[in-house]
Copies of this chain bind each other. A is one copy, B any other.
Amino acid sequence: MWLRNCWYVIAWDHEIPAAGSPELFTRTVLGEPVLVIRRESGEFAALEDRCCHRLAPLSKGRREGDCVRCGYHGLKFDAQGLCVDAPGIPIIPEKARVRTYPIVNKNRWVFVWMGDPAKADPALLPDNFSCDHPDWKHKPGYLHYDTPYLLICDNLLDFSHLSYVHEKTLGGSTAIAQAKAETERVDGPGMPGVKVTRRVPNVPVPPYYRKMRSFTEGALLDRWFIYEFLLPGTLLMNSGGRPVGDPPDDLSNAVRLHSCQTLTPETETSTHYFFEQSHPSNQGDDSLTEGIFQSIVTAFEEDRDMITAQHRNILRDPAKAMVPLPIDGALVQFRRILSQKVAAESGQAASAS
């Protein structure tokens, strides 16, 4: 149940070694091993990390300029995936090539397109502006999950879990779970998805926020979480909290955050999670940036712990039904949109063949 014709983040750009480095970067996306190289021009290339000859990983070979030479029998591939040298073989067969993937760097997220290359459209990239914007500051994060990616989408689509999973970290109040979330469908111009708006009035300051601004003991805030969650699994969120009583349009004492998070299936049962939570760059210093990073890593590890336990329980009895509740609105809608897109893609593939 994977959408193929869409962009998936494969790495933060700083993860990809420089053109002159002997190191090769590989990561598995939708079950396929993908080698990413930074070309001498500065652009990226993505190749299937599997030599066409005997399927050895090219990442165990070596860079030669913009090419990669397989470390098993020495076949050399250029950035277009063509075999341009094969020791001991005067005439290289035309079939000797590896697949390449459209790849693009947008705001430090490196995206690959795992479906039909002809359909790769930069207009479908999400607006992850805070990943690289002078007004916003963060430390980039990555976590690996040993669970299917949809369980993590579910988690991000229902913030009522903040009150319980993150009771002592992000949450700080059962009011988040009590607050009603408004869900609406998002349609284009990029990928479709859902928009979730959750306003939580008159609640204590979460421990997390105190790393950003000082509040008096017992201070109360009006908090908000407004985010889009777009196919295949990208969250773009504006959140924050304003002291109760401040005029609605006065954010001078407010905490404001912007977060970009995205999920990339590694295999059917494992997932890459790239994330950042930015604060305004004119507020606070590096220790604040680090503090926010540590807070969200701690919280995301709480999520991972819970979702991993949930996944183990599901595996005990995969036929076991879940009881749907009104709070599942956003995740049910998101799963439906995804299913429809996946089905449409299969249909296209079927009618094309």
Question: Could you tell me which A residues sit within 8 Å of B by CB distance?
Answer: 28, 31-33, 49-50, 52-57, 60-61, 69-74, 86-89, 93, 95-96, 154, 158, 160-161, 163-165, 174, 177-180, 305-306, 309-310, 312-314, 316-317, 320, 322-323, 325-327
Contact = CB atoms under 8 A, between A and B. Distances in A.
A42 B262 CA distance: 48
A310 B72 contact: yes
Total copies of this chain within the assembly? 3
Given A87-B178, A306-B60, A72 B320 contact: no
Contacts of A160: 73-74, 87-88
A96 B325 contact: yes
A165 B60 CA distance: 9
Contacts of A174: 74, 87
Most buried by B among A49, A53, A56, A158: A56
Contacts of A95: 323
A167 to B, nearest CB: 8
A56 B151 CA distance: 11
A55 B322 contact: yes
A309 B57 contact: yes
Contacts of A322: 52-55
A320 B55 contact: yes
6 contacts: A31-B317, A33-B313, A69-B164, A70-B164, A88-B326, A88-B327
Q: Which 9 A-B pairs have the closest CB atoms?
A: A87-B177, A52-B323, A56-B310, A74-B164, A55-B313, A95-B323, A57-B309, A73-B160, A50-B313
Contact of A31 (B72, B86, B164, B316): B316
Given A88-B178, A88-B179, A177-B88, A310 B54 contact: yes
A161 B73 contact: yes
Contacts of A69: 164
Given A69-B164, A95-B323, 19 more contacts: A28-B316, A33-B316, A54-B154, A54-B310, A56-B313, A57-B312, A57-B313, A60-B306, A71-B164, A71-B165, A72-B161, A72-B306, A73-B160, A73-B177, A87-B160, A88-B160, A89-B326, A89-B327, A96-B323
Nearest to A316: B31
A19 to B, nearest CB: 22
Contact of A50 (B56, B71, B161, B320): B320
A55 B310 contact: yes
A93 B323 contact: yes
Contacts of A165: 71-72
Contacts of A52: 322-323
A178 B313 CA distance: 48
Contacts of A154: 54
A45 B24 CA distance: 51
Contacts of A317: 31-32
A28 B313 CA distance: 10
Contacts of A31: 316-317
A55 B314 contact: yes
A21 B293 CA distance: 33
A252 B312 CA distance: 55
